[in-house]
Chains A and B, each alone.
Chain A
Amino acid sequence: MKLSRERVEPLARRAWPPLVLASLVVVTWALVDSFGGIVYHDIAVKMFIMLMIVLGLQVFSGNSGVLSFGHVAFMAVGAYSSALLTIPTEIKKFTYLTMPHFLKFWVFPAQLNALEGTLAGAGFATVLALLTAAPIVRLTGVAAGIATLAILVIVHEFDYQTSAVTRGTSTQIGVPTTTTLLSVAVWAMIFIGAAFAFQQSRFGLRLRASRENERAARSVGVRVPIERAIAWTISGFIVGVAGAQYAHAFGGTFGPDDFFFNNGLNIVLLTIAMLVVGGMTSVTGAVVGCYFVTVIFEAVRRWEVNGLGGVTPPAGTSNFVLAFVLLVTLVARPGGLTRGREVPWPTDWRLPRRPAFRRTALIERFRGTPPANEPAASAETAPTD
């Protein structure tokens, strides 16, 4: 079969953004692995875990336009279940004395390896996502923010109080530290691909249509709650993997407050801020936002620790600078750094945006601006409020 340019280019165009983003991850991994010390190694691991969460958020919030504070709850579930199933049986017998019997008989003998543990953790997170999908998919705007926040508070409160299963505020003992830079980089790359594939799939396309104009999407037969539920569940799995990886990194010590609003690095708000700063509606935005925030924060943090030219800023400056930069970025570019666009094809850099293939044209129509090559028919059929 002869490969003509007409046949290859659309495929290459579609594969281009995830390839670029994945190669960015590979380059980061290679640089840190060969040149970085233990400090940069830990920073990179943390960044890739954050990247997974941001990608999970992008799959749900970015495509549906519904805000979520609750994804870190999936992270907590992934972390706890993965840890419980991978800690050696001998240690579990001493550390979980009060675990109820209906959990004991299958949790205690379980001794999964790293990959199985991660998948099991993500599986439990997916189950939680399925259970919580029903109320969440009916909501939008601030109501959705509140409901997802409530999920986060409920899971945090459960982790905090149910010390028989989670050891409450005490640290975990004997969690195998199996997370490596390579493992998180590979998972991050997988999820870049997955997020992109979802965005391009028919499910993602319907969801994006409902984001741009919910009534118009409904009118052409998009079942908005079902599409949202699919994205919610997928993002639950992604963030669950991030949690499981987190549990086995950094010495295997974690507690309920790691998955909540706490002082210092606030993971709930930071991941949302990364997504919004990068540009919610594109996978590129998620990756760019994550890199942008991490680089700025860690640069100032290094300055704070090491000093530069004899000048050392007071402790805590990095947090303040981060908040300030977030603020300035949001004011200067409310649509995010990427303005919701993907990595452009090399020859498209200077061209105005054009309807590259028909699927984007459909999205454009829902947004209310007709594609350039069609007569300007009014797309705003649904009455605005």
Chain B
Amino acid sequence: MPGVDRTQALRATIGLAVPTGLLVLLLCVVLGAAKGIQYTLDAISYGSIFALLAMGLALLFGVMGLMNFAYGELIMAGAYTMFFTRSWGWLGMIVVTIVVVTMLSLLMELLAFRPLRRASPVTLLITSFAVSYALQELAWTDVLGLAHRFNATIGTGPQKGVQPYPWLTHQFSIGGVLISKLEIAIWIVTVAILLAMTILLRRTMLGTQLRASTEDFRMAQLVGVRANWVISAAFAITGLIAGVAALLYIFRNGQVAPDIGQGPLFIAFVGGVIGGLGSLSGAALGGFVLGVVINILNASLPFKLHSYALLFAFVAVIGIVVFQPEGLISVRAGAVVSIWRRLRRRKPAAEGAPA
């Protein structure tokens, strides 16, 4: 249904533009134009990473009903690969990291989730926890002896991490607004991946099969979609996305630790729920908005208030799950869009009345 697709894309774009625009406006008013734009750009690049992660989570959730908590460990694995290949030059590092993370994702599917395909979602969830736990412990104890081989110290607390490339993180000023090449790279990569995903899902055979499996997995199998192929493809795609997200995240932070994947996973997970895990664009949008909001709260609020902000954020999460289970920004429920439309429709009638 191409017509529906276009409306969905339109709604998602509007949903993306409205909160972002409001945010920029608010910040510019509060902090002054230059600083406001600065904060916003920074927050957008931070939120983009979570948009990618949330989309990966949503893809797996849609295809096989798996809420994959081992997803954070893909980022961790990516971080360690970057750490071990830090002397290979940036191109080698990027290629190897993406390949390793994708392979790990496929391996995860093959060893842990394929035998459990018919199990209940709860069992799948617990399995993903076990996978996550095992991979984390692998990193803590360094059973493979990688640390020795690469002259590093693993499992002994925080370490130096990946040295950021100066040419990548150096900030230059455009009219008082500081931007680094990394931020620009993050925007470009995110947009490129979103576009690629859209094309993949709309224009290719694999995309059609993936969407069919998301709608109704058993029905898709009945009309000839091969289950193994589709699920492996979904894992490969999410692995690819996780690899890219890991690269961007580690280039930004530089830290490497066994539990590094937990934080981003948590944000992406909650953001995905807020946006609606049922649809890729909704989840990506949710992850993006939550990432942006958290970044801005971190930057601008005093410490005490920021701490309780998390508490209220989760009260809101319960509210969303109960009253708007499809997600706030999900394409079907489209709360933001519908509110916007309602406002627009009422505008002529409500002129002069207090808003």
Contacts and interface: CB of A to CB of B under 8 A. Distances in A.
Interface of A: 67, 135, 138-139, 141-143, 145-147, 150-151, 153-154, 157-158, 160-161, 261, 263, 266, 269, 272-273, 276, 280, 314-317, 319-320, 322-324, 326-327, 330-331, 334
Given A158-B311, A315-B141, A334-B123, A146 B112 contact: no
A147 B122 contact: no
Contacts of B150: none
B141 A317 contact: yes
Contact of A269 (B67, B115, B118, B129): B129
Contacts, number: 117
A67 B123 contact: no
Contact of B273 (A146, A153, A276): A146
B161 to A, nearest CB: 18
Contact of A323 (B133, B269, B314): B133
A273 B318 contact: no
Given A331-B116, A334-B119, A334-B123, A139 B321 contact: yes
Interface of B: 61, 67, 112, 115-116, 118-123, 125-127, 129-131, 133-134, 137-138, 140-143, 155, 259, 262, 269-270, 273, 277, 304, 307-308, 310-311, 314-315, 317-319, 321-322, 325
Contacts of A263: 259
Given A276-B123, A331-B112, A142 B67 contact: yes
Interface centre among B127, B129, B259, B319 (most CB of A within 10 A): B129
A330 B137 contact: no
Contacts of A317: 141, 143
Contacts of B155: 316
B122 A67 contact: yes
A47 B155 CA distance: 27
Shortest 7 CB-CB distances between A and B: which pairs? A323-B134, A316-B141, A334-B119, A320-B137, A323-B133, A150-B314, A326-B130
Contacts of A157: 307-308, 310-311, 314
Contact of A327 (B134, B140, B310, B322): B134
Given A135-B322, A139-B322, A330-B126, A146 B143 contact: no
Contacts of B127: 327, 330-331
Contact of B125 (A138, A145, A320): A145
Given A154-B315, A316-B155, A334-B119, A143 B325 contact: yes
Nearest to B277: A142
Given A142-B67, A263-B259, A316 B129 contact: no
Contact of B307 (A142, A147, A161, A324): A161
Contact of B130 (A141, A161, A316, A327): A327
Nearest to A315: B141
13 contacts: A135-B318, A146-B269, A146-B270, A146-B317, A147-B317, A147-B318, A150-B318, A263-B259, A316-B141, A319-B137, A323-B130, A331-B112, A331-B127
A136 B140 CA distance: 36
A200 to B, nearest CB: 23
A38 B105 CA distance: 43
A322 B131 CA distance: 11
Given A157-B307, A272-B126, A276-B126, A320 B141 contact: yes
A67 B125 CA distance: 10
Contacts of B325: 139, 143
Contacts of A145: 67, 125
Interface centre among A141, A145, A269, A327 (most CB of B within 10 A): A327
B322 A147 contact: yes
A151 B120 CA distance: 24
Contacts of B121: 141-142
A273 B321 contact: no
Given A142-B277, A145-B67, A317-B141, A330 B123 contact: yes
A143 B270 CA distance: 11
Contacts of A331: 112, 115-116, 127
A160 B307 contact: yes
Nearest to A66: B122
A149 to B, nearest CB: 8
Contacts of B129: 269, 272-273
Given A273-B126, A330-B116, A314 B143 contact: yes
Given A314-B143, A316-B141, A330 B317 contact: no
Contacts of B118: 334
A143 B321 contact: yes
Given A151-B318, A326-B130, A327-B134, A276 B116 contact: no
B130 A330 contact: yes
Nearest to B141: A316
Contact of B112 (A135, A141, A266, A327): A327
A272 B124 CA distance: 13
Contact of B315 (A139, A146, A150, A330): A150
A331 B325 CA distance: 31
B180 to A, nearest CB: 32
